[in-house]
Amino acid sequence: MVIMLSTSCSNEVDINDDYKEISIVYGLLDQSESRHYVKFTKAFQTDGNVYLATGDAANSQYKPDEVEMWMEEYGVSGNYIKSISMDTVLVTVKDSGAFYYPNQLIYATAEGVKLNQNRIYKLKAKIKSSGNVIEAETGLVNDFNIDKPIYLIKYADFSGNYTKTIQWYSPKKGKLYQVVIRFFYTEISSTGVQTSHYADWKLSQTRSQTTDGGEKMTYEFLGASFYNNLAAVIPPAEDGIKRWSDTLQYIISVADENFTIYMDINAPSTSIVQEKPAYSNIANGFGIFASRYQKIRPFLGLNPKSLDSLINGTKTYKLGFEYRP
């Protein structure tokens, strides 16, 4: 018995199960764009260092000839309308991170493909070697108008300690809203070289009660807070540096309900319970296929009082802004 036990026991434990093909999908459709992208990869397992393995594209990236991908367009009643082909494109500017970079393969439609906000889109991907078909579907967040400030106002006003209002009506299928005020400016070096920059002020998120559309959405903020943000994100001007104010935009980004749920679940935990449920709307795979939309209210720049506050105000005078000659 002693001999049997001493020869049959081992300290080695194999934590890997038999390999199973698991496809991962990330796709967000936006009908305002002219080309539409989907990232399609696979899960992998390794006996070695997982951090080294993530840097090898061969572990998680399908070969271009392994996958056939397309989208199908349907009417709201479920009637098939057409198929939209998708092919691989090489992204060469992926930021550094845990996974391979800067080159990554993703799937895209041809340029100039227009999506209809009143249609349903079904994504389908077939793995040729296994015959597995991965599917997902989404509607599109509809278009909408920004009612306040009205379009007759050409220059943004942040002067005085008064409440400023952004107002719109929620679009169909829209759920989560993020308002960003984007300020564009030109920086002139001591040698006269001009470069373009922008600074974002990301306001807190808000949600509509339903995704039916037509709900009055209002966001209010103090105008003086605009300058506080600029002072926080733009460094003080060094000697010889000057800056000019350019245009400004209110940007409202909208996520549909599936994308909102996905972001909620994957947000940083604020409790001692770190384990989170998984969320996916991909059939025969994991990930998210949803929609978003972005609406921009442009301004020609700051009105005279707001520009004076930028140049001479106590919060921003060190930023080096001057009147454009």
pLDDT tens for each residue of 212-248: 999 999 999 999 999 999 999 999 999 999 999 999 9
For 304, the 3-state DSSP assignment is: helix
pTM: 0.85
Give backbone dihedrals phi and psi of 64, rounded to 5 degrees, phi first.
Answer: -55, -35
Do the beta carbons of residue 167 and residue 150 sit within 8 Å?
A: no
* CA–CA dist 46, 52 (Å, integer): 10
User: What is the predicted pLDDT for the residue at 1?
Assistant: 44
How far apart (Å, rounded) are the C-alpha atoms in residues 74 and 148?
Answer: 35
- Asked if residues 135 and 123 have their Cβ atoms less than 8 Å apart, the reply is yes
The count of other CB atoms within 10 Å of the CB of residue 175 is 20
Query: At 269, which amino acid appears?
Result: S
Checking if the pLDDT of 81 tops 90, the result is yes
pLDDT at 139 over 80: yes
Which tokens hold the place of 120?
């349903």
List, as one string, the DSSP characters of 54-110: HT-HHHHB--GGGEEEEEEEE-TTS-EEEEEEEEEEEE--PPPSSS--S-EEEEEPP
For 189-217, the pLDDT digits (tens) are 999 999 999 999 999 999 999 999 999 99
pLDDT at 111: 95
β-bridge partners, 251: 180, 296
Q: How confident is the model at residue 272 (pLDDT cuts 50, 70, 90)?
A: low
Which stretches of the chain are assigned E, i.e. beta strand? 23-29, 37-42, 67-74, 80-91, 104-108, 120-127, 133-138, 146-148, 155-156, 163-169, 176-188, 194-202, 206-207, 216-222, 242-255, 286-299, 301-302
Mean pLDDT for 129-142 is 95
| Per-residue pLDDT tens digits for 7-28 | 555 555 555 566 678 899 999 9
